[in-house]
A and B are shown apart, each in its own frame.
Chain A
């Protein structure tokens, strides 16, 4: 049972950054903007988040620095794609390259430093419950925040008027514009939210996961977050399932290697991705057909006047 508890704890830790980044990107894409720069915003968030925590000794300040850095970088993206109507795919890819370079520059002075990892919740009595205690009441703040955020995003998108407007903008920006909604302003907000989430997800890595900074430490997690949004067919509930499924397969394949299950490790490493593809196929087969992607996703919008 102890092993079970340990595995669940590792899975939650591995899934959280994916869930946070993917939630932000989901909102961005729901507004019709495809920002492929998640990896870049994450790594800059990691560098700034670590820097903030190192200089002040506070995880909270670190998290805020990460959020600020991710948002700042998303503003660059917004300026290009919304302001100047540049191609979103190209700008997103450029943003990733920019972010990786920038984070190396920002983080150069932080390499080799270490900080105290984010504190974990401890409620006397509850946290001590065998097996489930630590899983439910012994996580760091990021884990709870990520789940609250998904619930919040779900309520916002499906239960509020503003959420409806965002979805409308993502599905048909021309109609939304004709109805008098400020399409570009709404999209700006969605892009900034995506940037903030990516920055926070990046900051999670050096603040809680592996408490040090090294260049390139996101190691492709931004791209996985992007894939998870597609996997979830742009729905927050499925995003949670996807992120935890991905985390679970990642951790379990490591354990399977340790147990000596005679399957080549190269195949095991590919398993999380294979699982994602298979579930994706199953979902789309189960549906009556037709894409669930926001109809205006990735298209630029230039208001006529």
Chain B
């Protein structure tokens, strides 16, 4: 229903744009396509925060429109095209599944610029951007190993795709620097978003002896369960401390604000170029929420690790990386795994006593 309302608004905007094209030309129109509701308290919410911050930065130099709950596939192509026709000159499409539709529309409208999140296909007028979230997970692994009394971590996965698997590996590599015998129990929810199921998975992990919960699903349900049981958890994508004031250790925040401001500024200055951005702690695209509910020495260790990663002194996937079979993984990046290896990761590191589902 809300989408229909927003769609209708977009259509009215189109009409308005054609009538007042002279005045519209002065403002840069920027469009956004969201996969979820802006209030999902996770992925889409972070993009929305960045949009608002960007609007605040540029004031009346920009005018933004967003379409939420746009499902991936043909529906998204229509929505992107709608934004183009409404006069948007810079369009952010914020989910992996929008890759092909964005590419298609980009070819059709060479004068409009596109920014696609988490994809790998680019064009003259289409950039891609994503965050190195695994950097934050490495820090989480260190904190988790320090805090855990049972030596068992609980991990709720969404789908066994490379992004999630590299997150699990990074966590364990971090944890192993503290406790080489750390154990992890992994439960796949097979969903990005199902609060009930995420809560059930968290309960199952805690019941089986885990005492720190980490998740790669989007709702704060697991955080609440950990909070109820007096255990610890890490937030996901957003700040979730409200849902577990005594439980949240930290959260790997997705911070798109600097990027959105930088790209809109480039467009305003006429210096926009098609680029591939994969930024982490250094560029503040990945930001750690305050380190809470932990002793000072753990906090200090986490902060030091964060600084080391930011300065490039510590690489989560530095060689040698040993796979489950005990063999070293080929080191394509010199002294660390190269970006391609991380982006396509489909193996567990040694120390994870589990199998990647379906492999």
- A→B interface (CB under 8 Å): 2-3, 6-7, 10, 14, 17, 97-98, 100-102, 104-105, 107-108, 111-112, 114, 117, 205, 209-212, 214-217, 219-221, 250-251, 254-255, 257-260, 262, 264-266, 269
Contact = CB atoms under 8 A, between A and B. Distances in A.
- Which 3 A-B pairs have CB atoms at the shortest separation, nearest pair first? A101-B1, A111-B39, A265-B188
Interface string B204-234: 1101101000000001110010001000000
Given A14-B200, A212-B220, A269 B188 contact: yes
B336 interface: no
A264 B40 contact: no
Contacts of A97: 1
10 contacts: A3-B207, A3-B208, A14-B200, A112-B39, A205-B196, A210-B221, A219-B195, A257-B187, A258-B208, A265-B358
Contacts of A266: 188, 190, 357-358
Nearest to A17: B196
A255 B205 CA distance: 7
Contacts of A259: 208
A112 B187 CA distance: 25
Nearest to A255: B204
Contacts of B304: none
A262 B221 contact: no
A205 B195 contact: yes
A225 B187 CA distance: 25
Contact count band on B: 35 or more
Contacts of A98: 1
Among A7, A98, A108, A212, residue most surrounded by chain B Cβ atoms (within 10 Å): A212
B207 A250 contact: no
A2 B186 CA distance: 21
A189 B53 CA distance: 51
Among A114, A254, A255, A262, residue most surrounded by chain B Cβ atoms (within 10 Å): A254
Contacts of B353: 260
Given A260-B354, A265-B190, A266-B190, A7 B207 contact: yes
B196 A102 contact: no
Contacts of B351: none
Contacts of B354: 260
Contacts of B208: 3, 255, 258-259
Contacts of B194: 219-220
A269 B190 contact: yes
Nearest to A263: B357
Given A210-B219, A266-B357, A254 B187 contact: yes
A257 B39 contact: no
A212 B243 contact: yes
A145 B84 CA distance: 53
A254 B36 CA distance: 26
A178 B201 CA distance: 54
Given A101-B1, A210-B199, A215 B205 contact: no
B242 A255 contact: no
Given A214-B39, A214-B41, A258-B205, A219 B197 contact: yes
B310 interface: no
A214 B188 CA distance: 21
Interface string B1-12: 111100000000
